[in-house]
Structure 1
Amino acid sequence: MPGRLGGSRRAAIIATGALVALTPVQARPAEPAPKHPNIVILLADDWGFSDVGSFGSEMATPNIDALAQAGTRFSNFHVAGSCSPTRAMLQTGVMNHRNGLGNMPETIPDEHRGKPGYDTVMNFRVVTIAQLLKAAGYRTYLNGKWHLGSDARRLPHARGYDRAFSLADAGADNFEQRPIEGLYDKANWTENGKPATLPKEYYSSHFVVQRMIDYIEADRNSGKPFLASINFLANHIPVQAPDSDIARYAAMYRDGWTALREARAKRAAALGIMPAGVPTVTMATTPDWRKLDTDERAAAVRVMQAYGGMATAMDREVGRLVAHLKATGDYENTIFVFLSDNGAEPTNPFGSLRNRLFLGMEYDLATANIGRRGSFSAIGPGWASAAASPLSGYKFTASEGGLRVPLIVAWPGNAKIRAGAINDGLAHVTDILPTLIELSGVPGHRGAWHGKAVEPVTGRSLVPMLEGATGSVHGDAPLGYELSGNAALFRGDYKLVRNLAPAGDGRWRLYNLKLDPGETRDLAAAEPDRFAAMRADYRAYAKANGVLDMPPGYTADEQINRYAFEQQGRRRLIRLGLWTGGIVLALSVLVWGWRRRRRARRIDQAKADVIGA
């Protein structure tokens, strides 16, 4: 019958089965467990959009450029207009008003202090990337600038980092343990949550990389992958660099910032970072180079030479780290992320007589000393406009020059990530955490962490864009932003933006960033329906995120000056108190000594009277 085995065939099968049962089983080699990649985050400070060679710069950044060739450059990547909000979003994947950085300590108006979302420090309702990776078995390290809270519960060691040598302030001296005078009383460096002392032979970029190498090697025998977050002080004020790096640029920058801005725009177009012939504007705060006198030009040239030297010194340290990882066999299985925390710094610290007098007492401001130990300098709005080229605006503003910065993501050993690619789709700093979580294959969180409700991640993974997908992972979804009253909303190729004084007039404007990344043609009147719809999108974002209106007359520049003046006042009061206390103590000693001598004379006189009697 069909379906039934004949006797002889059935016996053969049974015999074969018996032989198989008696034969030792050859164990199939187990598939090795996927090895989690190492992660290196290289966070530059105040680098403008075209401050990297592979984005159009003339400055020597060969090691960062090599990472660009090994990975993908994002030419439409956005952060916040100031450092702390960006850093908190990078750490958490959560928008700044929800992670506590609705504003910074140095720029928040008194009316906003203590309001929800305006903690001025990273709050405890968010989970950091270090906490997520540490829970998955990673070693976690951070070196350099933190600026997300200075008390013991908020320093990196308490927010998921196994080892951390960090600066709690916005910036500090690059050659010694010295604060930005007038802004802070001391340079608040800590290691693993405890006050730390910098080495005598110290330069910031070299130190943060060397300490990271030391951390990685100290725990190498653990066999665990690592997260290494290196947060450079370069190129934050004060602009400082080794003499040899400054000398590299001795023949450059004599044609001024307008010429440099044009040259960078052309190089960016030649590299494919920007379309050719992008229209640009000259910012109102950019001085006319031709009207500077000889001494002003000499100082301006020198500070940009120091700025170039500072960038090159940092790039050299990036190369030293990469060389170390190649030597240890870690390079191929390491994800590298390079970005800046905001656009170039336009602040002129010498803009007021009070500041000039104060800084002149604290630093050697001679032109020949610019960029060296004991100096204090900044590139100002002229050179900042070139650093942002061909974009409009700079740090603090919501213009593209303040928010759009270079991003490079590379994983040399992962063939899926396109090497040498440029992606012009919209990307945001909150996207970094979900991207790294997906690439590393570790669990994220869905609004809960260790049984506690936390802010959900708002960013989206950039993995599709890294693997060659065109367009943005955000599609046509609205993406809002606000800091110090300067605000924006991105949707598809369009951007709604408002800047308060002194960078703007408080009016909302509409731009097509794909056709006009330089923000030269306001489309609000030409496309009223889109303009109205995006205004409504922004209002919804502001309501959902608890955005507060700024007090009348507020400007971030004035608030920073007020903060600095208050700090200087406290410092003067402390000095006065110490001086007064010293005088009182000295007088007390003198009075005590006088009384003691007077008493001794009385005793001697009494003894003499007794003897005489």
Structure 2
Amino acid sequence: MTPADATPPGRTAAESTPWWPAPPTGASPSILTVILDDTGWSDFGCFGSEIRTPTIDALAEGGLRYTNFHVTPMCSPTRACLLTGRNNHKLGMRFIADTDTGFPNSRGRIDPGVPLLPSHLRPSGYGSYQVGKWHLAPGHEVTPAGPFDNWPLHRGFDRFYGFMGGATDQYAPELYEDNHQVQPPRSPDYHLSADLADRAIDYLRDHRTYRPGSPFFLNLALGATHAPFQAPRAYIERYLHPPAGRLRRLPGTRRRPAVDVNAPYNGIPQTIAQELARLNRLGGPQGPAHYPEGWAAVGNTPFRLYKQYTDLGGVRVPLVVHWPRGITDPGGIREQFAHAIDIAPTLLDAAAIPYDEGQFDGRTIAGTFADAAAPAPRNTQHFEMLGHRGHPARRLESCDDPPPRHPLRGRRLASVRHQPGLLRMPRPGRRRAGARRRAVRTLGGTGRGTRCLPPRRPPAQGPALPRHRAGAAQRRAGRAGSRGRPHAGSLPYDGQ
């Protein structure tokens, strides 16, 4: 096939004109995406956490923080959404990739006919590199002999270094390079996170050296925030002794008996004394830890629940975007609704690469980079995981109409819109004077029970309840409204 800008060859060499592709101009931006598992608002310093994350904070200070960004409640479906721009149920990735159920919505891999982001970038001269967690191939295909159809190289990446499953030991990981298994480097201070960072640097160094001027796409997916938790001891030591008075029991909370965190994983019960004796080994090669539900809830503060659930704690996560060329107000905050399916079209838009919008469920949010008032690109998104379900939402233009009735009762969910009173951002964005925000909540089930709750105010007649009595009344009302199907959850948003 003759390129469009090449002269057709003649019958002989003398009658033909040689042609070579034009060298890259360097105008297209290089792209780096960093994915962290099981990470919530309370894990980033720039989102209000006491955990020190200086590099992420610096990126946020020179970029943007999105306070209304969402994912699916599990890792494989979110990765599929991010790399394809499509909803996970349409890709054959309803759940995690370990199992092929035999049904088209859950085959443990992305449908072969759906292109991943590297395939869209390659015609524009991009080199693509996957480093870290993949988790987009069914378990029975992760063998030394393949098949390799769902491995990174076959799905469009030029190089791969990392692990294929959902988790691996941080000190003795099961690693793969390209299409073959490799041993981790032998070093007394080895840790997987540092190894992945070093390999990412190596790939980019080679790219810059041998493909000068051409852009790259690097997807770095660390395993450190996913079980097993094995942080280097130096990081653990920073948080072993919190300042006096910082840890205290909240008023009204009750003491609970200690929990055996070992037995659920290996069937071997341990006493509290045995568990305490192992405490100092946590985080090291002999002491990996899983994620207790309590700490999972803390990490997703101020939202409810955690991964697997379609409640906000399972689907709303921090997003930091850093692009000096395209962001006009560094350090700004964006409140537009966005989802992992919006990332791929956003990156293509930012790179000025033409694409067919019909191939994506997501839409670009690049317009928000320079305009804090830009509208959200979509007003419909569904959420479902293991029967915890959401629904296509309609845009709510007004809260004056009475909500439709719904036969099912379920737990009420917090608003998908950013609630300024829930968490003080380090540098909150400005709000119009006197503006009142209304929280949009729903009843569980198929999502037909949308309710609009106005700002809380004292009753029109009679004195307001004392604070402690009002809180008790609200808790009783919450318990009454949450009885019913425990896993029915609807999560609409209003497109704002």
Q: State the TM-score, normalizing by the size of structure 1.
A: 0.57
CA contact (8 A) 2:303 2:414 kept: no
For 2:345 and 2:153, locate their aligned partners in 1 and report how far apart those are by CA, in whole Å.
Answer: 22
Match of 1:402 in 2: 314
Match of 2:185 in 1: 199
Q: 1:353 and 1:405, CA in 2 relative to 1: closer, same or farther beyond 3 A?
A: closer
For 2:70 and 2:418, locate their aligned partners in 1 and report how far apart those are by CA, in whole Å.
Answer: 17
Please, which of 412, 418, 434 is the counterpart of residue 329 of structure 2? 418
For 1:124 and 1:174, locate their aligned partners in 2 and report how far apart those are by CA, in whole Å.
Answer: 31
Q: Count residues in correspondence.
A: 388
Please, which of 248, 252, 256 is the counterpart of residue 291 of structure 1? 256
- Answering whether residue 339 of structure 2 is matched by residue 436 of structure 1, we say no
Match of 1:166 in 2: 162
- Answering whether residue 382 of structure 2 is matched by residue 382 of structure 1, we say no
Q: 1:253 and 1:379, CA in 2 relative to 1: closer, same or farther beyond 3 A?
A: farther
Partner SS state of residue 86, structure 1:
helix
For 1:44 and 1:255, locate their aligned partners in 2 and report how far apart those are by CA, in whole Å.
Answer: 31
Match of 2:84 in 1: 92
Q: 1:484 and 1:520, CA in 2 relative to 1: closer, same or farther beyond 3 A?
A: farther
Q: 1:214 and 1:465, CA in 2 relative to 1: closer, same or farther beyond 3 A?
A: same
For 1:484 and 1:251, locate their aligned partners in 2 and report how far apart those are by CA, in whole Å.
Answer: 39
Cα shift readout 1:490-534 (whole Å, capped 9, x = no counterpart): 55579xxxxxxxxxx983746543376979995549xx97639xx
Match of 2:405 in 1: none
Q: 1:365 and 1:123, CA in 2 relative to 1: closer, same or farther beyond 3 A?
A: farther
Deviation at 1:228, TM superposition (A): 1.0
Deviation at 1:258, TM superposition (A): 8.1
- Answering whether residue 66 of structure 2 is matched by residue 74 of structure 1, we say yes
- Answering whether residue 126 of structure 2 is matched by residue 132 of structure 1, we say no
Deviation at 1:39, TM superposition (A): 0.6
Q: 1:219 and 1:400, CA in 2 relative to 1: closer, same or farther beyond 3 A?
A: same
CA contact (8 A) 1:397 1:486 kept: yes
Partner SS state of residue 165, structure 1:
strand
CA contact (8 A) 1:174 1:240 kept: yes
Please, which of 270, 285, 307 is the counterpart of residue 373 of structure 1? 285
For 1:44 and 1:487, locate their aligned partners in 2 and report how far apart those are by CA, in whole Å.
Answer: 23
For 1:90 and 1:383, locate their aligned partners in 2 and report how far apart those are by CA, in whole Å.
Answer: 26
Cα shift readout 1:169-203 (whole Å, capped 9, x = no counterpart): 110111113xxxxxxxxx3x211111122112231
More helix by share: 1
Name the aligned partner's letter for residue 286 of structure 2.
Answer: G
Q: 1:471 and 1:486, CA in 2 relative to 1: closer, same or farther beyond 3 A?
A: farther
Match of 2:376 in 1: 473
- Answering whether residue 365 of structure 2 is matched by residue 462 of structure 1, we say yes
Q: Percent identity?
A: 30
CA contact (8 A) 1:73 1:422 kept: yes
Please, which of 257, 264, 269 is the counterpart of residue 352 of structure 1? 264
Match of 2:219 in 1: 229
Cα shift readout 1:112-142 (whole Å, capped 9, x = no counterpart): 9211221121221211111111221111111
Q: State the TM-score, normalizing by the size of structure 2.
A: 0.70
CA contact (8 A) 1:257 1:386 kept: no
Q: 1:374 and 1:444, CA in 2 relative to 1: closer, same or farther beyond 3 A?
A: farther
- Answering whether residue 33 of structure 2 is matched by residue 41 of structure 1, we say yes
Please, which of 34, 45, 48 is the counterpart of residue 53 of structure 1? 45
For 2:303 and 2:329, locate their aligned partners in 1 and report how far apart those are by CA, in whole Å.
Answer: 26
CA contact (8 A) 1:364 1:375 kept: no
Partner SS state of residue 87, structure 1:
helix
Q: 1:515 and 1:200, CA in 2 relative to 1: closer, same or farther beyond 3 A?
A: closer
- The correspondence of residues 548-587 of structure 1 with structure 2, limited to 5 A, is none
What's the Cα RMSD here? 3.6
For 1:257 and 1:45, locate their aligned partners in 2 and report how far apart those are by CA, in whole Å.
Answer: 26
For 2:119 and 2:256, locate their aligned partners in 1 and report how far apart those are by CA, in whole Å.
Answer: 53
Q: 1:350 and 1:369, CA in 2 relative to 1: closer, same or farther beyond 3 A?
A: same
Q: 1:135 and 1:355, CA in 2 relative to 1: closer, same or farther beyond 3 A?
A: farther
CA contact (8 A) 1:426 1:471 kept: no
Match of 1:181 in 2: none
Please, which of 205, 210, 213 is the counterpart of residue 198 of structure 2? 210
For 1:176 and 1:384, locate their aligned partners in 2 and report how far apart those are by CA, in whole Å.
Answer: 25
For 2:346 and 2:248, locate their aligned partners in 1 and report how far apart those are by CA, in whole Å.
Answer: 37
Please, which of 460, 485, 492 is the counterpart of residue 387 of structure 2? 485
CA contact (8 A) 2:328 2:370 kept: yes
Deviation at 1:399, TM superposition (A): 0.4
Please, which of 531, 538, 545 is the counterpart of residue 450 of structure 2? 531
Cα shift readout 1:82-137 (whole Å, capped 9, x = no counterpart): 1000000011101001111112245x7xxx92112211212212111111112211
Larger deviation, residues 224-233 vs 463-472: 463-472
Name the aligned partner's letter for residue 256 of structure 2.
Answer: K
For 1:481 and 1:523, locate their aligned partners in 2 and report how far apart those are by CA, in whole Å.
Answer: 14
For 1:196 and 1:353, locate their aligned partners in 2 and report how far apart those are by CA, in whole Å.
Answer: 28
For 1:289 and 1:378, locate their aligned partners in 2 and report how far apart those are by CA, in whole Å.
Answer: 24
For 1:510 and 1:462, locate their aligned partners in 2 and report how far apart those are by CA, in whole Å.
Answer: 26
CA contact (8 A) 1:364 1:374 kept: no
Deviation at 1:45, TM superposition (A): 1.4
Deviation at 1:248, TM superposition (A): 1.3
Q: 1:97 and 1:69, CA in 2 relative to 1: closer, same or farther beyond 3 A?
A: same
CA contact (8 A) 1:75 1:424 kept: yes
Match of 1:118 in 2: 106
Partner SS state of residue 219, structure 1:
helix
For 2:245 and 2:254, locate their aligned partners in 1 and report how far apart those are by CA, in whole Å.
Answer: 8
Partner SS state of residue 301, structure 2:
coil
For 1:353 and 1:227, locate their aligned partners in 2 and report how far apart those are by CA, in whole Å.
Answer: 38
For 2:123 and 2:52, locate their aligned partners in 1 and report how far apart those are by CA, in whole Å.
Answer: 39
For 1:99 and 1:403, locate their aligned partners in 2 and report how far apart those are by CA, in whole Å.
Answer: 19
Deviation at 1:417, TM superposition (A): 4.2
Cα shift readout 1:517-560 (whole Å, capped 9, x = no counterpart): 979995549xx97639xxxxxxxxxxxxxxxxxxxx999xxxxx
Deviation at 1:229, TM superposition (A): 0.8
Unaligned runs of 5+ in 1: 1-31, 178-186, 263-281, 283-287, 297-347, 448-455, 495-504, 533-552, 556-613
Name the aligned partner's letter for residue 332 of structure 2.
Answer: A
Q: 1:58 and 1:479, CA in 2 relative to 1: closer, same or farther beyond 3 A?
A: same
CA contact (8 A) 2:68 2:416 kept: no
For 2:277 and 2:102, locate their aligned partners in 1 and report how far apart those are by CA, in whole Å.
Answer: 39
CA contact (8 A) 1:143 1:229 kept: yes
Unaligned runs of 5+ in 2: 1-23, 398-407, 423-437, 452-484, 488-496
CA contact (8 A) 1:54 1:68 kept: yes
CA contact (8 A) 1:50 1:406 kept: no
Name the aligned partner's letter for residue 207 of structure 1.
Answer: D
- Answering whether residue 230 of structure 2 is matched by residue 240 of structure 1, we say yes
Q: 1:370 and 1:446, CA in 2 relative to 1: closer, same or farther beyond 3 A?
A: same
For 2:58 and 2:394, locate their aligned partners in 1 and report how far apart those are by CA, in whole Å.
Answer: 32
